[in-house]
């Protein structure tokens, strides 16, 4: 079909969605099957963290500690939009799918950078975008799935970018929105809602991948008569938050999906008395029915905005002379958690602070952290606490190397913060934080020598093996590990993309990019050549932290330009 | 309070008592009233959008010189429809020293009172703060979503942050002692494009 004709028919087919073809369609697309999703080929990156277990580990080793110094850009591609570009490029046998803010997906030739097609969602004019971002597309058969900030889940034809179906998940006018990469399990597309700042009731929902029909919806706050409902007071459960806005991980053997949940709303715990299940928790769900199998709550009655939405990694650990099928989660609440996936449910194994905190006095034998009331925000009083509300590690993901057995954490050290809690009435669609947004503070600890810290932890022993400190920047980007004994991460305000030695922490390579990197690095291979790819595009919370630091850290770089570019690197031959 | 017909009051009441929603009679939703989603038009009056005086017409003497801004809705004086069917109609009204205003701003002001769209042109958040500018000692509008700042003395031009352009201005006049809209918004309301 001629391009013009195709465009016209696209416009006729839908009044609010536009697909633009460039060099497409894609020939010989490799359909994505359950088997391929369970065992992705080493050269592909088809899940948020490459594999269902969430490890963020590539088995490719062509790029390694000896040749990484020769890594050079081989192509770049401007996305045409600003704000935080947080998505990993998704790779399926030579085809790259990149999602960006504003609900855009670009299909590219992963070897050459040539564009196949581009989808641009036409977002509503009156949309209130607190987190204008997107974290990637899920794949199934010959379709891909995009979750949008106006709270729709859209299926596109992977070969053409044409809309296959478009389902409204909830109402964006009520502060419901989606930012995550959908998780696809056996033909079901599973997403969770953002919007904890708007007084929503969080949920995780599954759709039929072929039709877009809703299959189940599990609320993260139990309703009347459901177990855990009594951990809420009065009607707080209706508006108590607990959003689920990051992609879950999946245990293929036990067919269990693990999903992280956000904080209770609004922020000060006094406004929602009780433990507030299942906020700030990990949930274990049956992917067929959405039924909750088990849970673990990382902390009760959250008052710090410490959501725990980054899903735990599934790692087999040797600990105390046995193999532990663990859940590992470096928490926003500053605690590095090691939990166990037991047949009877999730059990606490160990927890320790990985950055300075003055909030937790201890952790009880069941894994319940005990808060110091002096550092718990309340109504009408300003309370300072460490780490800041962005936590010891926010949503950017840690990685696990199967070769070194270490977990690599993009941590923020020496940032404290505070706010004054207040009772605020809820107005649908308006921010509902329980404090004035302009009152939120971020304060370097006195005498702090650095802020961002890339850390390597041994999850089996609880020992920190190495760390690399950033004296003038936060570290706000996901980490990727490879079998080349390399750790890739951006996340700093100097626009650098870096590679570290996985065993020693030695900085082996760095490259300045167009903007700051909050995107997730990936590794892939086409025609026998290994590539590393990442989106550079600063914005959202990395920018918020940056702005909060202005005037507080001498010599701080606050001129981080915005604008997204996909960068692809290979070793110069 | 349960008889207050506005949607906001209804929600507030429901939260406060948990009892009013059930007894409220079904009525035409605010956004369905004819004209309620239309942009402000010449001759509209401005009414308080929130607080004890929500719904009352704003007069210049109701405003405190030097800010903070008041949030307002336009209201059609002929039909009495408050145009709050679209969040894109929310307005910031602030009274400043006329001498501080640049010429363009002064030409749209009623005395020292100026009005702008309350919707940030970056990604469409509401602008909520009135704080000292990051790069100066004057109070400015701040959108706390991503920290864009706008100076209302200079046609609300961007003085900090990622916002790509100034806020749409709403020219004002006074009529019978009340603030009225003198002309439509200057510039596109909301985010730069349909984001
Ligand atoms: S929406 Fe206002 S700064 Fe981003």
How high is the pLDDT of residue A440? Answer: 87
Pairwise CB contact (< 8 Å): B194 & A431: no
Hey, which bits of A131-255 come out as E strands? 138-140, 143-147, 152-157, 163-168, 183-185, 188-192, 203-208, 214-219, 249-251
Q: What's the rounded Cα separation, in Å, for the pair A28 and A116?
A: 13
Q: Could you tell me which residues of chain B have a Cβ less than 8 Å from any Cβ in chain A? A: 8, 11-12, 15-16, 18, 86-88, 119, 123-126, 128-129, 131, 134, 142, 144-147, 161-162, 164, 189-191, 194-195
Pairwise CB contact (< 8 Å): B195 & A234: no
The model's pLDDT over A483-501, given as tens digits with 9 standing for 90+, comes to 999 999 999 999 999 999 9
pLDDT band at A22 (very low <50, low <70, confident <90, very high): low
pLDDT at A68 over 50: yes
The model's pLDDT over A409-431, given as tens digits with 9 standing for 90+, comes to 999 999 999 999 999 899 888 89
Which residues from B are below 8 Å from A436, CB to CB? Answer: 129
Pairwise CB contact (< 8 Å): B146 & A539: yes
CA–chain centroid gap for A271, Å, is: 28
Residue ranges of alpha helices (H) inside A454-521 are none
Pairwise CB contact (< 8 Å): B162 & A102: no
Smallest Cα distance from A330 to chain B, Å: 26
How high is the pLDDT of residue B21? Answer: 35
Q: Can you tell me which atom of ligand 1 is nearest the CA of B124? A: 1
Pairwise CB contact (< 8 Å): B129 & A437: yes
Torsion over CA: A189, A330, A262, A194 (sign)? negative
Q: Which of A132, A428, A539 sits opposite B195 (nearest CB)?
A: A132
pLDDT at A547 over 90: no
Q: Can you tell me which atom of ligand 1 is nearest the CA of B148? A: 3
For the residues A156-184, what does the mean pLDDT come to?
A: 97
Pairwise CB contact (< 8 Å): A427 & B86: no
pLDDT at A265 over 90: yes
Q: Which residues line ligand 1 (CB under 6 A)?
A: B 120, 122-125, 143, 145-148, 161-163
Residue A203 neighbours by CB under 8 Å, 6+ apart: A192, A193, A217, A218, A219, A220, A244
Q: What's the rounded Cα separation, in Å, for the pair A470 and B159?
A: 29
Helices and strands, counts by H and E, chain B: 3, 10
How high is the pLDDT of residue B31? Answer: 61
Ligand 1 center to B142 CA (angstroms): 9
Closest CA in chain B for residue A545: B146
pLDDT at A354 over 50: yes
Residues A354 and A455 sit within 8 Å (Cβ to Cβ): yes
Whether omega for the bond prior to residue B175 falls within 30 degrees of 0, making it cis, is no
pLDDT at A192 over 80: yes
Residue B107 neighbours by CB under 8 Å, 6+ apart: B171
Torsion over CA: A439, A445, A450, A453 (sign)? negative
B67 or A182, greater pLDDT: A182
ipTM given for this complex:
0.81
Averaged pLDDT of chain A: 94
How high is the pLDDT of residue B175? Answer: 87
Smallest Cα distance from A145 to chain B, Å: 19
pLDDT at A11 over 70: no
pLDDT at A370 over 60: yes
Residues A284 and A296 sit within 8 Å (Cβ to Cβ): no
A554 or A450, greater pLDDT: A450
How high is the pLDDT of residue A20? Answer: 52
Q: Can you tell me which atom of ligand 1 is nearest the CA of B191? A: 1
Q: Which of A426, A438, A540 sits opposite B131 (nearest CB)?
A: A438
pLDDT at A7 over 80: no
Pairwise CB contact (< 8 Å): B194 & A129: no
Q: What's the rounded Cα separation, in Å, for the pair A52 and A37?
A: 8
Closest CA in chain B for residue A423: B16
Q: Which of A125, A132, A543 sits opposite B88 (nearest CB)?
A: A125
Ligand 1 center to B38 CA (angstroms): 23
Catalytic residues of A, by residue number, are: 305
Torsion over CA: A353, A354, A356, A359 (sign)? negative
Question: For A140-154, A277-291, B164-178, which range has the lowest pLDDT when averaged over its residues?
Answer: B164-178
CA–chain centroid gap for A500, Å, is: 22
How high is the pLDDT of residue B44? Answer: 97
* Percent of chain A clearing pLDDT 90 (strictly above): 89
Residue B25 neighbours by CB under 8 Å, 6+ apart: none
- CA atoms within a 13 Å half-sphere pointing along the CA-CB vector of A219: 18
pLDDT at A193 over 60: yes
Which residues from B are below 8 Å from A132, CB to CB? Answer: 123, 195
pLDDT at A539 over 80: yes
Q: Could you tell me which residues of chain A have a Cβ less than 8 Å from any Cβ in chain B? A: 82-83, 101-102, 122-130, 132, 234-235, 425-431, 436-438, 539-540, 543-544, 547, 550, 562
Smallest Cα distance from A292 to chain B, Å: 30
Closest CA in chain A for residue B131: A438
Pairwise CB contact (< 8 Å): A132 & B134: no
The model's pLDDT over A114-144, given as tens digits with 9 standing for 90+, comes to 999 999 999 999 999 999 999 999 999 999 9
* Percent of chain A clearing pLDDT 70 (strictly above): 96
The model's pLDDT over B97-132, given as tens digits with 9 standing for 90+, comes to 999 999 999 999 999 999 999 999 998 999 999 999
Q: What's the rounded Cα separation, in Å, for the pair B102 and B194?
A: 30
Smallest Cα distance from B5 to chain A, Å: 15
DSSP β-ladder status, A57-58 and A480-482: parallel
Which regions in chain B score pLDDT beneath 50? 1-27, 194-195
Residue B87 neighbours by CB under 8 Å, 6+ apart: A126, A128, A429, B119, B126
Q: Which of A129, A429, A547 sits opposite B147 (nearest CB)?
A: A547
Tokens of A163: 């809309």
Which residues from B are below 8 Å from A79, CB to CB? Answer: none
How high is the pLDDT of residue B25? Answer: 40
pTM of the entire structure? Answer: 0.91
Q: What's the rounded Cα separation, in Å, for the pair B141 and B167?
A: 10
Pairwise CB contact (< 8 Å): A129 & B162: no
Residues A420, A423, A425, A426, Cα dihedral to 10°: 60
Q: Can you tell me which atom of ligand 1 is nearest the CA of B162? A: 3
Smallest Cα distance from B58 to chain A, Å: 22
For the residues A538-561, what does the mean pLDDT come to?
A: 88
Q: Which of A127, A426, A437 sits opposite B195 (nearest CB)?
A: A127
Residue ranges of alpha helices (H) inside B58-164 are 103-107
The model's pLDDT over A331-344, given as tens digits with 9 standing for 90+, comes to 999 999 999 999 99
The model's pLDDT over A298-350, given as tens digits with 9 standing for 90+, comes to 999 999 999 999 999 999 999 989 999 999 999 999 999 999 999 999 999 99
Q: Whose CA is nearest to atom 3 of ligand 1?
A: B146
């Amino acid at each position: 079909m001629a391009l013009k004709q195709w465009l016209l028919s696209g416009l006729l087919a839908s009044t609010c969605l536009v697909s633009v073809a460039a060099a497409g369609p894609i020939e010989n697309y490799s359909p994505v099957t359950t088997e391929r999703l369970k065992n992705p080929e080493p050269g592909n990156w088809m899940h948020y963290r490459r594999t269902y277990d969430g490890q963020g580990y590539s088995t490719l080793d062509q790029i390694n500690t000896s040749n990484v110094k020769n890594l050079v850009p081989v192509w770049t591609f401007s996305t045409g939009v600003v704000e935080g570009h947080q998505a990993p490029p998704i790779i399926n046998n030579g085809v790259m799918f990149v999602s960006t803010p504003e609900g855009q997906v670009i299909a590219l030739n992963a070897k050459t950078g040539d564009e196949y097609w581009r989808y641009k969602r036409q977002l509503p004019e009156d949309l209130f975008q607190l987190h204008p971002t997107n974290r990637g597309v899920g794949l199934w058969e010959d379709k891909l799935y995009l979750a949008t900030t106006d709270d729709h889940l859209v299926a596109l034809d992977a070969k053409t970018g044409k809309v296959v179906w478009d389902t409204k998940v909830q109402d964006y006018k009520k502060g419901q929105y989606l930012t995550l990469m959908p998780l696809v399990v056996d033909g079901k597309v599973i997403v969770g809602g953002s919007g904890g700042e708007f007084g929503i009731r969080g949920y995780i929902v599954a759709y039929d991948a072929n039709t877009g029909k809703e299959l189940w919806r599990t609320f993260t706050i139990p309703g009347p008569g459901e177990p855990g409902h009594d951990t809420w007071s009065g009607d707080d459960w209706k508006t108590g938050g607990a959003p689920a806005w990051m992609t879950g991980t999946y245990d293929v053997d036990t067919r269990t999906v693990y999903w992280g949940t956000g904080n209770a709303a609004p922020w000060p715990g006094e406004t929602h008395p009780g433990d507030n299940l299942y906020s700030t928790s990990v949930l274990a769900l049956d992917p067929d029915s959405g039924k909750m199998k088990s849970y673990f709550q990382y902390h009760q009655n959250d008052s710090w905005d410490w959501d725990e939405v980054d899903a735990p990694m599934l790692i087999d650990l040797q600990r105390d002379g046995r193999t532990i099928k663990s859940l590992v989660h470096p928490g926003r609440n500053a605690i590095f958690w090691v939990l166990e996936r037991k047949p009877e449910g999730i059990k606490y194994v160990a927890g320790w602070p990985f950055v300075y905190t003055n909030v937790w006095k201890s952790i009880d034998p069941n894994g319940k952290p005990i808060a110091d009331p002096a550092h718990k925000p309340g109504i009408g009083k300003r309370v300072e606490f460490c780490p800041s509300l962005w936590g010891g590690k926010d949503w950017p993901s840690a990685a696990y190397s199967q070769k070194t057995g270490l977990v690599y954490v993009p941590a923020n050290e020496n940032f404290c913060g505070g706010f004054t809690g207040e009772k605020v009435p809820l107005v649908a669609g308006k921010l509902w934080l329980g404090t004035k947004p302009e009152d939120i503070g971020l304060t370097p600890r006195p005498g702090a020598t650095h802020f961002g810290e890339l850390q390597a932890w041994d999850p089996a022993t609880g020992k920190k093996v190495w760390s690399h400190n950033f004296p003038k920047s936060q570290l706000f980007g996901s980490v990727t590990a490879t079998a080349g004994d390399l750790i890739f991460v951006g996340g700093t305000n100097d626009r650098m993309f870096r590679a570290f030695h996985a065993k020693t922490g030695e900085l082996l390579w760095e490259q300045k990019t167009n903007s700051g990197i909050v995107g997730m690095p990936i590794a892939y291979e086409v025609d026998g050549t290994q590539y590393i790819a990442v989106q550079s595009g600063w914005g959202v919370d990395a920018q918020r932290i940056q702005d909060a630091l202005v005037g507080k850290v001498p010599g701080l770089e606050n001129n981080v330009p915005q604008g997204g570019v996909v960068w692809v690197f290979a070793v110069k031959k | 309070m349960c008889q207050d017909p506005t949607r906001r009051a209804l929600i507030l009441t429901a939260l406060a008592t948990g009892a009013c929603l059930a007894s409220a009679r079904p009525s035409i939703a605010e956004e369905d009233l004819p004209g309620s989603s239309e942009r402000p038009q010449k001759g509209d009056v401005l009414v308080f959008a929130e607080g004890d005086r929500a719904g009352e017409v704003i007069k210049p003497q109701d405003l405190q010189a030097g800010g903070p801004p008041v949030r307002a809705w336009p209201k059609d004086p002929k039909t009495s429809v408050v145009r709050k069917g679209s969040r894109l109609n929310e307005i910031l009204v602030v009274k400043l020293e006329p001498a501080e205003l640049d010429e363009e701003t002064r030409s749209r002001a009623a005395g020292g009172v100026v009005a702008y769209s309350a919707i940030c042109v970056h990604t469409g958040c509401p602008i909520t703060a009135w704080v000292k500018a990051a790069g100066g000692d004057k109070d400015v509008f701040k959108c706390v979503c991503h920290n864009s700042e706008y100076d209302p003395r200079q046609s609300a031009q961007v003085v900090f942050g990622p916002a790509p352009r100034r806020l749409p201005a709403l020219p004002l006049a006074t009529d019978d002692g009340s603030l009225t809209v003198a002309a439509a918004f200057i510039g596109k309301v909301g985010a730069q494009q349909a984001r």
